[in-house]
Amino acid sequence: MGRAAQHFDLDGEFFSTPTSIMATFRIGEDTKTTVLRVHSSDVDLTKLIELDRLVGDLGPDVEPADALARVKAIDEAPVPYRRALTVVSFGFVSASAARFFGGGIAEIVTAGAVGFIVGFIAMRFGRSPAGARAFDLVAAFTATMIAGAVNHFVSPVAVFVVTLAGLIVLIPGLTLTTALAEIATRNLVSGSARLTAAAVVFLQLIFGVALGTRVQALLWAAPAPVTPHALPTWTFGLFLLVSCVGLVVLFRAPPKTAPVILFSASVGLIGARLGGEALGGEIGIFVGAYLVCVSGNLYARLAGRPAVVLIVPGLLLLVPGSVGFRSLAQLLDQDPLGGITSAFAMLLAAVSIVAGLLMANITVPPRRAL
């Protein structure tokens, strides 16, 4: 917005938060301030790429009306993927997450089914504002009930692994990390707003899980602990590929960006694993985040596209949302020591990611804010 104002010789100042935008323009001695109420939306990498291209195209020959028409066309562009494919992608990501959490074949299949159903609920509830607000709670309750029912009636599964993997797309780990990054860069209002939003989603999810657990206790006996059957190491790479296919659809990225998203996810996970072996689990995530951000900034400079095309999918597999979910679950189970320990691990992992991003931006300065 600031760059566009400069291009059109406007004296403008802007202030943005996750829920509002304030713009002030000065024309001579006259000042006009406008406040816009905005609503958060899903990540749409295709629209971000087009918007970034528009900003780069601003030049002497671009008229304001033409630029505004392009912005409107970008905003009104349809979703590049069909609803059915989006629902299937929920299942892909959940099945992959079950493998990353150490699940076996039973957990992967069940988590994939849970993710598919969660995706179907997302499509149905997303059609109305009231449904969207209650979606996280309903999805968490449904995932818990399905995991418990499969364990009781079909086949023994690790219920917590299945539930966590089935809800992995909804866990706001990326929002939490973004909030801490904004606070670290002194964007206190925006960071505090995102931090509150992440906390609310966490609480809704954990309440849905708690409600599902209590209902199951009324219907059948508590599930016995189940140890998943370990899978060969090569399956990790297979499900990494599957998860990237799902992320391309869920983030609405152009299909031709799939290879760079796979590269980013691989760099992040390998970096985090090597860093964990050298520095310890949570602190080692710093290495993965650093490599992802450096790769994203280099990609932005070489390909002329937004760095977030690499950074967002790459960080999603590193963010500590699952640890935060585990922390709240432990507190519900009357395990305050375990809950506090997990909460500290979550914050340490999030700070490690933020530190990695800050250091990467010093090593390879970003091409643009996107």
Same domain, 319 and 270: yes
Same domain, 21 and 44: yes
pLDDT score, position 106: 93
Instruction: Show the domain range for 52.
Output: 2-58+66-76
CB 28 within 8 A of CB 234: no
Tokens of residue 136, six digits: 């996280």
* Residue whose token pair is 């760079």: 260
pLDDT score, position 308: 85
**Confidence (pTM):** 0.85
pLDDT score, position 320: 63
Each residue's pLDDT expressed in tens, for the chain with a length of 370 residues: 787 787 777 888 888 888 888 899 887 778 888 898 887 777 888 898 898 888 888 777 778 788 889 989 998 888 888 889 999 999 999 999 899 888 899 999 999 999 999 999 998 887 777 777 889 999 999 999 999 999 989 989 988 889 988 988 888 877 777 787 788 777 888 888 888 888 888 889 889 988 998 898 888 877 777 888 888 988 988 998 999 999 899 888 888 888 988 898 888 888 888 888 888 777 888 888 899 999 989 998 888 888 888 888 888 777 765 666 667 666 666 677 777 787 777 778 888 888 888 898 899 888 766 5
User: Where a domain ends, among 203, 232, 252?
Assistant: 252
Chain center to CA of 20: 21
pLDDT score, position 109: 94
Residue 287 backbone dihedrals phi, psi, to 5 degrees: -65, -45
pLDDT score, position 321: 59
Same domain, 199 and 278: no
Q: Is 366 left (phi over 0), alpha (psi -120 to 50) or beta?
A: beta
Same domain, 194 and 248: yes
Same domain, 166 and 205: yes
pLDDT score, position 199: 84
In the chain, the N- to C-terminal Cα span, in Å, equals 12
Same domain, 213 and 355: no
**Number of domains into which the chain is organized:** 3
Same domain, 193 and 233: yes
Cβ neighbours around 341 below 10 Å, total: 15
Cβ neighbours around 97 below 10 Å, total: 29
